[in-house]
Each structure stands twice: as structure tokens, then as C-alpha cells.
Structure 1
Amino acid sequence: MKNHKKLITLSILLLILISLIAVYNIKKYTKPKSEGIFYKVESNGNSLYLGGTIHIGKNEPIKFSKAVENAYEKSTTLVVETDITNTSTIRKYGKDVTYSSGDNLYKHITPAAKKHIEPIMKKLNLNLDTYKNDTLGYLYSTILNSELLSDDANSYGFDYYFLKRAKNDNKKIVALEDAKTQAAAINAGGDAYQNYQLENMLYPDDAKKAFNTQYNAVLNGDVNYFEKYDFGKNSNNKAVRDYYNSLILQRNINMYNKIKSYISSGKKYFIVVGTGHVLGPDGLVKMLKKDGFTVTRLK
């Protein structure tokens, strides 16, 4: 298995944001006053904390507000989408983003997608034939990560920041999703959407601009930046709608059901998942509020 596969596992948020937001507009970003997108969720005297992350990080110190730090300190369990420090999970994931024997990428990629990504891959010193056994979704995320990872960006986002701390603090770590779910997310929408995504892939400079905007929006708590997009829910393109339903909506429902059980347990959980799951038209915050939970922003 390629070593870089473990670096791609948690690129899901960027797949959502860059493919469904950045293709519209890249605007100059102004830092708001608050930091982070974190909430306290309460019901019947019980509470937990829910925060939005971005799965690609920057080589700079991360400093969240005192309220966020206090929430982490009070919690006994860290909950993430998947634990990228778990080698067993990474191995299983690698198998699910590889075509079975007798199948290969060239049987799935369209001529238009191939034509669009070839100059991008050449600029990044990537060879398409190297990934002939990998799925279209994995190919897209590999190219995207190669575009973004540079001297000031790395494969470890805010969730890794808390994972590392939790291990040092001997906190319990729980994964909301297994390797198969994460792989299904990478491959969501089938060939129709995956080729659409490749055919419309941003070139490196634009991808970096989009990432910088989104990174700052998550770090500095710009909720409005995310709430103004529907992430493809109401797209005229059926492949995009199917992608949304599989990648976001169904996963949000599954996460939400687990979060409800965490609250009722009375234990203190600190949850960090992709901001595309926390906010948006079918985000966890909206689901929680709709069901009567008290959701308060941490600042």
C-alpha cells in the first residue's frame, strides 16, 4: 500500500468545501473576532461539546479561545470522525479505495476528466499510471492534497491537534466512523460525480487560495461563510445531489444519532468533525436545535 494513503484519509472536508464552494467565488477574507467553531450542547442537565475542524493544517501554532480550551479540559472523551493515528483503520481504508482485481481506473475515468487533470498532475510531478489501481475519488483527493501540501500546509488539521493532545492527556478516543465509511465518503456519488469533480478540478494556485480562505474561516469562527452555501443539496446536477446525500446528509444523520446517545449518557464528550458536517442546511447544529437541544456557541 502506498504510504501516502494515510495522508488522504481525512481530506473529506476539503472535498466538500473546495469542490462545492470554491468553484463559485474566492473572495478576500477578513478575520472576525471570535476563534473556532465550537458549541456547547445541552439537554436535561447533560452536556457535551461539538466543534468544526478542517482536515488539512498549517505549520503554525494553533490557539483557541479560553472557552474552547476549558471545554476540552472538562471532557473525558475525545470524539473524531476517524482516528488517523490508528494503523489498523488506515490499512482497512487503503483496501476500500483500491479497485478489485481485474478492474482499474482507466475503465472508469472519462476522456474529459483525463484531459483536464493531466496538466495538473504534470505540474505536480504526478503520473496517472501510478494510480491506475486506485478509485477515482482517491485519485481526486491525492491530487488535491498534492496541490495543498507545501511549506506552510500539512496533512494534520485541527482534529489531529486534539488527537495528539488527547493521547498525551490519556483521554479516551472514540471514532464516529470506521474505515469503510470513510472510504465510501471518498468514493461518494459514483463515477458520475467523481468524473464531474475531476473535470472541474481547480488548478494549484486557485486551490491554495480556496484552502487559505476556508482555513481562516474555520480557525476564526466565520459561521456565516459556511451557512451561505448549500453544499450542492439543491444543485441542478443529479450527480452533485447524490453526492451531497451520500457524503453529507446520510453521514450527518448517523453522526447525529450517536451524538444523541452521548448526551443521554451524562458523560463529557468533546467532539470535532468536519465543519461541513457541523454547519450547512442539514448540519448537526440545525438537527440538534430542531430536536430541542440547547446549542450555545463557545467564544
Structure 2
Amino acid sequence: MVSCILLFAADNVIVCPRYFLAKGLAMRSLGIALTLIFCFFGYQSSHAASVWKVTNGENTLYLAGTIHILSPDDYPLPAQFQSAYEASEVMVFETDISAMNSPDMQQKSMEMLTYTDGTTIDQVLQKETLNKLNSHLMQRGVPLANLETFKPTLLSLTLTMIEFQAIGLTTQGVDAFYYTTAMGDGKMRKWLETPEQQLNFIANMATGDEDEMILYTLKDLESLPSRMGELKEAWRAGDMDTLAAIGLTPWIEEYADIYQAIFVERNNNWVPEIKEMLTTPKTEMVLVGALHMPGEHGLLTQLSQQGYTITQLK
């Protein structure tokens, strides 16, 4: 489910397709313009949300599960996000969003996610995969030639971004909003991974599985419109069981290696950093993709098993 990675797991994978589209390497008619700042108003709700208070009895932090790209209709956000923000002194993101958008990182993205040696995607994919890809693009009025230098990972992300725009997901999400807000308010900002780490992760996702990545993306996109409403509803309500069933189970069952790399390894790397935050008196708000929260390898389970008190905000 590449769409789930974009929404819930990898903080800035949406940056790269936007960059290449803006550079004219794909069709200009897409017009994918993702907004950095949007209007925010308090949302009053008696229901739970994807925000948790984590404490060791002395110190506190807030753990917020986010969606990295949303539609204008998804606002206002649940009030629990703003409550946690106001109670926090330090904002912690998956990566440094400003650095990820820098010219240097965009150039590195171009070098790592496109073929620069004359190779084209039709030389990489098997004929059956190429035919399905071309058929999908023709239905959307997109010539394959416009994407021929894209490596499979970037191609997969771009295909997903096209579908996101088609169903109205054109606004960046919770992470970008609070990053910008924290900058304006002068709050300290930290991150769990460097931009280079995220870019390397993205670039290597499809290594050795190029055809599988494209075929799975095309299959995933068929059910995207019908599945998206259920995904977002579960996120807003903080319903981690439903979110895991839709967004995690397919990876575990069909692509265990990718699940291990995307979720298990990264969660395991983050837990010690989160524990370290709980040794200081400052209150942090940690924002990561919501699919990092549920499941036996999720952050909530790991922290709970290690003795921390976790309370979902309502």
C-alpha cells in the first residue's frame, strides 16, 4: 500500500514527486501544488483522536499520529492536536521538513530517484508490467514518455500523487502545519531522522523488486477512493485497530520485508529517542505517521510494555 506510506508512514516522500513535476519532468497539466500553510480552527469533539499522553510519572510528552497529506475538507483538525501543541515546549518530527525542501536535498533526490545514465523505465520493467503501467497512464492522459527516467520508487509515488489529487488530497497535512506553526511561535524543533536517512530509505525501497512495486501500486490505486474515507475516519477517531487492519495487515501478509524496514526498524530506532525525551522536564510533542502507532511493533505497544503510562486524549 504505497498510498498508506504516503499518508501515514514516511514523512516527506511527497516532496519528491512535487519537485519533479515542478521541474517539468512530468506533465505540467497535473498542477500538484501542495500548500504549506492552511487555516486552522479549533474542533470540539468528545471523541478520542490519534493523540496520546505518555508519562513516566514525572515527565510527559505527547505522541501524535499524523496524516502527511489531506484535503481541505479534512479541516478543522481534532482539537486534541492543538491541545497537545499548546502544552508542549518542543516539537519533534520524523525529519527536518525545511531541510528536505532545500535545493540541495532536491538535487540529491533527482540524482537518486531518476536514471541519469540513459536508462529508461521500459528497460527495467518486464513487458507485462510495462503494459499495465502504460494502460493505467493512458486512462489518465499521461504519456509514459513523461515519466520514463523515473526509477520505480519515484514512479510509484508519482502515480499515487496523481490519484491523491484526483480525489481531492491536495493539502499537506498535520506535520507541515505544525512545523510551520512552531517556526512562527519560536518553539524548538527536533527530528527523529535526518533528511538523508529518509531519502536513502525511499530510494532503496524497490531495489530488486521493481516490477512488484509497480504492480502492487497499480493494484493499490484501484481501491484507493473507496478505502480513503475509512482510513481517514479511523485516523480522526484514533481507531488504531481499524487503521492497522487496513494499512498494516496487507504489508505484513504480502511484503513482510518492506514492513520490517518501514515500520519495525524505524519504530525500534525511535523508541530509545522517545524514552530519552522522557528523562527531561521539557514537554515534547512527537508527530509521526499514524501507522507507526498500532500493532505489536507499534510505538504505543513498545512504550506500554516498557512501563510508561499512555492515555489517549479525548
Match of 1:59 in 2: 72
**Residue of structure 2 aligned with 1:73, choices 63, 86, 89:** 86
* Distance in 2 (alpha carbons) for counterparts of 1:14 and 1:174: 18
Q: Which structure 2 residues correspond to residues 8-19 of structure 1 after superposition, within 5 A?
A: 11=6, 13=8
Shift of 1:100: 5.1
Shift of 1:145: 0.7
Structure 1 residues 190 and 73 mapped into 2: Cα distance closer, same or farther (>3 Å)?
Answer: same
* Distance in 1 (alpha carbons) for counterparts of 2:274 and 2:266: 12
* 1:149 counterpart SS class: helix
Matched AA of 1:57: L
Structure 1 residues 123 and 171 mapped into 2: Cα distance closer, same or farther (>3 Å)?
Answer: farther
Shift of 1:127: 2.9
Q: Is the 8 A contact 1:188 1:247 kept in 2?
A: no
* Distance in 2 (alpha carbons) for counterparts of 1:193 and 1:137: 10
Q: Deviations over 1:30-69 (max 9, x none)?
A: xx96253011111140110001111111113633444432
Q: Deviations over 1:254-296 (max 9, x none)?
A: 1222212222233211111111112223111111111111111
Deviates more, 1:90-99 or 1:216-225: 90-99
Q: Deviations over 1:171-214 (max 9, x none)?
A: 12222222232223334553444422321324756322222321
Match of 1:296 in 2: 311
Report the TM-score, using the length of structure 2 for normalisation. 0.76
* Distance in 2 (alpha carbons) for counterparts of 1:106 and 1:191: 16
1:196 corresponds to 2:218: no
Report the TM-score, using the length of structure 1 for normalisation. 0.79
* Distance in 2 (alpha carbons) for counterparts of 1:258 and 1:93: 27
Deviates more, 1:188-197 or 1:65-74: 188-197
Q: Which structure 2 residues correspond to residues 224-243 of structure 1 after superposition, within 5 A?
A: 224-228=241-245, 230-232=248-250, 234-235=252-253, 237=254, 240-243=255-258
* 2:190 counterpart SS class: strand
Match of 2:272 in 1: 257
Matched AA of 2:6: S
* Distance in 1 (alpha carbons) for counterparts of 2:70 and 2:106: 19
Shift of 1:124: 2.7
Match of 2:139 in 1: 123
Q: Is the 8 A contact 2:241 2:294 kept in 1?
A: no
Shift of 1:169: 1.5
Match of 2:24 in 1: none
Match of 1:18 in 2: none
* Distance in 2 (alpha carbons) for counterparts of 1:110 and 1:84: 36
Match of 1:144 in 2: 160
* 1:60 counterpart SS class: helix
* Distance in 1 (alpha carbons) for counterparts of 2:228 and 2:205: 23
1:174 corresponds to 2:190: yes
* 1:199 counterpart SS class: helix
* Distance in 1 (alpha carbons) for counterparts of 2:60 and 2:154: 37
Q: Is the 8 A contact 1:103 1:133 kept in 2?
A: yes
Unaligned runs of at least 5 residues, structure 1: 1-7, 16-31
Q: Is the 8 A contact 2:51 2:80 kept in 1?
A: no
Shift of 1:155: 4.4
* 2:186 counterpart SS class: coil
Shift of 1:135: 2.0
Match of 1:22 in 2: none
* Distance in 2 (alpha carbons) for counterparts of 1:188 and 1:137: 8
Unaligned runs of at least 5 residues, structure 2: 11-44
Structure 1 residues 196 and 261 mapped into 2: Cα distance closer, same or farther (>3 Å)?
Answer: same
Structure 1 residues 295 and 115 mapped into 2: Cα distance closer, same or farther (>3 Å)?
Answer: same
Deviates more, 1:112-121 or 1:198-207: 198-207
**Residue of structure 2 aligned with 1:112, choices 116, 120, 128:** 128
* Distance in 2 (alpha carbons) for counterparts of 1:62 and 1:148: 17
Q: How many residues align?
A: 273
